């Protein structure tokens, strides 16, 4: 089955800098790649997603890049703020099928 | 819209006891998912229902774990004869129609088996 690896388990950046979280996947049939954020004591909250028909998507300060050849995707958070501090999870799934495979999470700390 | 509601928030059981976890999906959502979260394994898919029918239970341990969705408004995850290794946060999520769409997660039930 699919394996999603999240390369950074922890990440610290200074407020205003950019943060980058990288993930790789193994299943060439995966075509949907969402990102979720988890704050302490809460469930996961959707932040952004990308589908395999594009290689870049931006929503305000969040940018997702997808490199299908390398089976790699990344989340870029620009102009970080303290409220961006959380655990971020990447995931992958096949088209039309919603069994998501999640990475193990990256704990992001934004230092004021 | 209250979001996905999971009860209880915390459950403590003794080894060998049964635990039942409840999930109320967002009204109008036809797909419900159960995940288990631990530090070591991360987020593990357990099972998923669409329109109350079980679609994929490939992540469910074959023994002691069962899930049901008797109606549109709730799903249960039952663990019989709980073991310490069952200790985890169990997350329920729902989505509109179960295809590639965002999941809405509940806050989870933290199960502690002593």
pLDDT digits (tens, 9 = 90+) for B12-42: 999 999 999 999 999 999 999 999 999 888 9
Mean pLDDT of A7-20: 96
Mean pLDDT of B53-74: 93
Contact between B61 and B78 (Cβ < 8 Å)? no
Q: How many helices (H) and strands (E) does chain A have?
A: 0, 11
Higher model confidence: residue A102 or residue B98? A102
**A chain contacts of residue B108, beta-carbon cutoff 8 Å:** 43
Predicted pLDDT at B86: 96
Sign for the CA dihedral angle at A53, A74, A81, A105 comes to: positive
* pLDDT of residue B76 exceeding 80: yes
**A chain contacts of residue B99, beta-carbon cutoff 8 Å:** 96-98
Q: How confident is the model at residue A97 (pLDDT cuts 50, 70, 90)?
A: low
User: B25 — contact with chain A (CB < 8 Å)?
Assistant: no
Contact A44 B4 (CB under 8 A): no
Nearest to A33 by CA among A107, A94, A96: A94
Query: Which residue of chain A is at minimal alpha-carbon distance from B43?
Result: A102
Query: Which residue of chain A is at minimal alpha-carbon distance from B57?
Result: A99
Higher model confidence: residue B2 or residue B46? B46
- Residue % of chain B over a pLDDT of 90: 84
Most B CBs within 10 Å, among A23, A33, A44, A104, to test the B interface: A44
Predicted pLDDT at B1: 64
A93 vs B43, B100, B106: nearest CB: B100
Angstrom distance (rounded) from CA A94 to CA B32: 18
Most B CBs within 10 Å, among A23, A49, A98, to test the B interface: A98
Q: How many helices (H) and strands (E) does chain B have?
A: 0, 11
* pLDDT of residue B97 exceeding 90: no
Q: How confident is the model at residue A94 (pLDDT cuts 50, 70, 90)?
A: confident
DSSP state letter for A70: T
**Tens of pLDDT, residues A34-90:** 999 999 888 899 999 999 999 999 999 999 999 999 999 999 999 999 999 999 999
Nearest to B102 by CA among A47, A106, A3: A47
Please give the structure tokens belonging to residue A97: 């099928």
User: B93 — contact with chain A (CB < 8 Å)?
Assistant: yes
Q: How confident is the model at residue B2 (pLDDT cuts 50, 70, 90)?
A: confident
Min CA distance, B17 vs chain A (Å)?
A: 25
User: B105 — contact with chain A (CB < 8 Å)?
Assistant: yes
Query: Which residue of chain A is at minimal alpha-carbon distance from B95?
Result: A98
């Amino acid at each position: 089955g699919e394996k999603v690896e999240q390369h950074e388990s922890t990440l610290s950046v200074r407020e205003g800098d950019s943060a980058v979280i990288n993930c790789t996947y193994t299943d060439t049939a995966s075509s949907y790649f969402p990102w979720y954020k988890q704050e302490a004591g809460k469930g996961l909250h959707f932040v952004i997603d990308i589908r395999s028909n594009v290689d870049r998507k931006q929503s305000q300060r969040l940018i997702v890049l997808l490199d299908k050849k390398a089976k790699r995707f990344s989340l870029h958070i620009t102009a970080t703020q303290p409220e961006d501090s959380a655990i971020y999870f990447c995931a992958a799934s096949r088209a039309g099928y919603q069994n998501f495979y999640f990475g193990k999470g990256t704990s992001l700390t934004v230092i004021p | 819209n209250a979001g996905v509601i999971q009860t209880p928030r915390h459950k403590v059981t003794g080894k060998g006891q049964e635990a039942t976890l409840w999930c109320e999906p967002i009204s109008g959502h036809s797909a419900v998912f159960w995940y288990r979260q631990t530090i070591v394994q991360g987020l593990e898919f357990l099972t998923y229902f669409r329109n109350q029918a079980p679609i994929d239970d490939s992540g469910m341990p074959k023994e002691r774990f069962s899930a049901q969705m008797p109606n549109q408004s709730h799903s249960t995850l039952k663990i019989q004869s709980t073991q310490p290794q069952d200790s985890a946060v169990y997350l329920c999520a729902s989505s509109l129609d179960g295809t590639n769409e965002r999941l809405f997660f509940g806050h989870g039930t933290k199960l502690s088996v002593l």
